Structure 1
Amino acid sequence: MNEAPAALSVRNLSVHYGGVYAVRDISFDVAAGEAVGVIGANGAGKTSTLKALLGLVPRTVGGLRFGDTDLAKVKAHDMVRHGIGYVPEGRHVFVGLSVEKNLLLGAYCRPWNKATRSRLDEAYDLFPMLRDMRGRLAGALSGGQQQMLAIGRALMSRPRLLLLDEPSMGLSPKLVEDILAVLQRLHREGLSTVLVEQNAKLTFEAASQCLVVENGAVALSGTSQELQHDPRVRKIYLGL
């Protein structure tokens, strides 16, 4: 896709449950500062791909590197220490803790110092409504507010690569636009991202490169500009 040196390199990634393949031989690169989208219909294998990158599901992989690190040898709970942030599907905020404590838990692997405090201020700058709600229990937030909290929490570890799984799920069109604006800002600031989404329109606007996944394999890949006008994308989504 992009011929620039890859920050993330994935080769022949597969996931199978019993004799059924959820993901089959997916390969792609994410260059430093690049936003890559992974789109497809429900059940296409998008979430399994993301979880396999993190080592959250059993996988086989020919190569998985992030910079100089061989991620195939890194445990899932150590990914954050190698500069990888994760926003899971369904948000999974700690509903019994305050907004601010949720954010601070995102920096659990970093010492509490001036740099970490400044990261908290940056999260509040990115999501001003969270500053106003810092003392409120996360469980009392709306779905959109919880999604912003989940993104802010992932950013607290100061990742170099952010993986997002269906951040627009269940959100109103206005909140989807808000999430898009945040993703575009992060892209402008040079953060590498992999965005897994069923919402193709959002992905084409947030990512410069895209993979279209069908039945666990890459059916199409290219720039967002190319793919958003490709009739094959409509066929994969709608079967038309």
Structure 2
Amino acid sequence: MSGTVTDPTPTNPTPTPTDELVVSGLSVHYGGVRAVSSVSFTVGPGQCVGIIGANGAGKTSTLKALMGLVPRTAERIQFGDHDLTRVKARDVVRHGIGYVPEGRHVFPGLTVEKNLLLGAYVRAWKGETRSTLGEVFELFPVLGEMRHRLAGALSGGQQQMLAVGRALMSKPRLILLDEPSMGLSPKLIEDILAVLQRLSAAGHALLLVEQNAKLTFEATRTCLVMENGEVAMTGTSAELRDDPRVRQIYLGL
């Protein structure tokens, strides 16, 4: 990803003050096992909120639950004016939420451009869609250079760019990102940080799940610490970064 991120503001989502994600009492069960228990938090426009914790803490299950990808119950899942508590997964994106899954999950047998256009499936095909494609290529020039190459031929960092770009194609106001730095070199992780900061500055709300503590604390202002499916601690990223309990128990530092 090095040398491939440029400065243009990406796909400005023109948020409104009401574009806030409000989650209350979110729980996830897999059979008889409760993976997430009564989690509550908010993410406002232009905010980047992090979720950290050990493996198995319930971080990924929380994101999947918000997208409707796993069985869930909740007192409230509200984004802007929309109640998403019972909205099916295929319709969540229509309400302005993008998703960058763990492991990227690009379509290896399709070209870069076709992968990106699939991200715009909720939008009517028109000149604006082509304009958004151009904005993604401005943000990630290497994707424009490789637009006709199969996604399976891209490096891990390039596939991560593709996954983020695909999410941007629906012009989301909120983006959920699951482990975007996984498997990347330190230099590429710095590039991911720059992208997250640019998206937040452009008005996107971001909810970031990350094992990389340094990236999380630099990209976010607020963090939740999850343990055994519950929110064990909340606070500013600066406070949690220096908290000895977080460093020892949750981050192994």
Query: What 5-or-longer segments of structure 1 have no aligned partner?
Result: none
So what's the TM-score if we normalise by structure 1?
0.95
What's the CA shift for 1:109?
1.4
Task: Tell me, in whole angstroms, the C-alpha distance in 1 between the residues paired with 2:76 and 2:198.
Answer: 30
Q: Report whether the alignment pairs 1:168 with 2:181.
A: yes
1:28 matched to which residue of 2? 41
Report the identity percentage.
72
Distance 1:30 1:122, change over 3 A: same
Provide runs of 4+ in structure 1 moved above 4 Å: none
CA distance in 1, matches of 2:252, 2:179: 22
> In the alignment, which residue of structure 1 is the partner of 2:51?
38
Tell me the residue number matched to 2:234: 221
Q: Give the corresponding residue for 1:234.
A: 247
Secondary structure of the residue aligned to 1:129 is helix
2:125 is aligned with 1:112 = yes
- Matching residue of 1:59: 72
SS at match of 2:29: strand
How far apart are the structure 1 equivalents of 2:252 and 2:217? Answer: 20
Q: Distance in 2 between matches of 1:46 and 1:193?
A: 14
Query: What is the correspondence of 1:1-240 to structure 2 with a 5 Å cutoff?
Result: 7-237=20-250
Could you say if the C-alpha distance between residues 105 and 37 of structure 1 is closer, same or farther in structure 2, counting changes exceeding 3 Å? Answer: same
CA offset digits 1:127-167 (Å, max 9, x no partner): 11111111110000011100000000000000010001111
The answer (yes or no) to whether the contact 2:18–2:81 under 8 Å persists in 1 is no
* Aligned-pair CA distance for 1:235: 2.5
In structure 2, the gaps of 5 or more residues are: 1-16
* Contact in 2 for aligned 1:214/1:236 (Cα 8 Å): no
Distance in 2 between residues matched to 1:164 and 1:27, nearest whole Å: 18
Q: Distance between the aligned counterparts of 2:25 and 2:38, measured in 1?
A: 4
Partners of 1:31 and 1:195 lie apart in 2 by 13
Query: For residue 98 of structure 2, what is the amino acid of its counterpart?
Result: G
CA distance in 2, matches of 1:219, 1:67: 27
> Cα 1:211–1:132, aligned 2, differ >3 Å: closer, same or farther?
same
- Deviation, structure 1 residue 238: 5.0
The alignment's TM-score, normalised by the length of structure 2, stands at 0.90
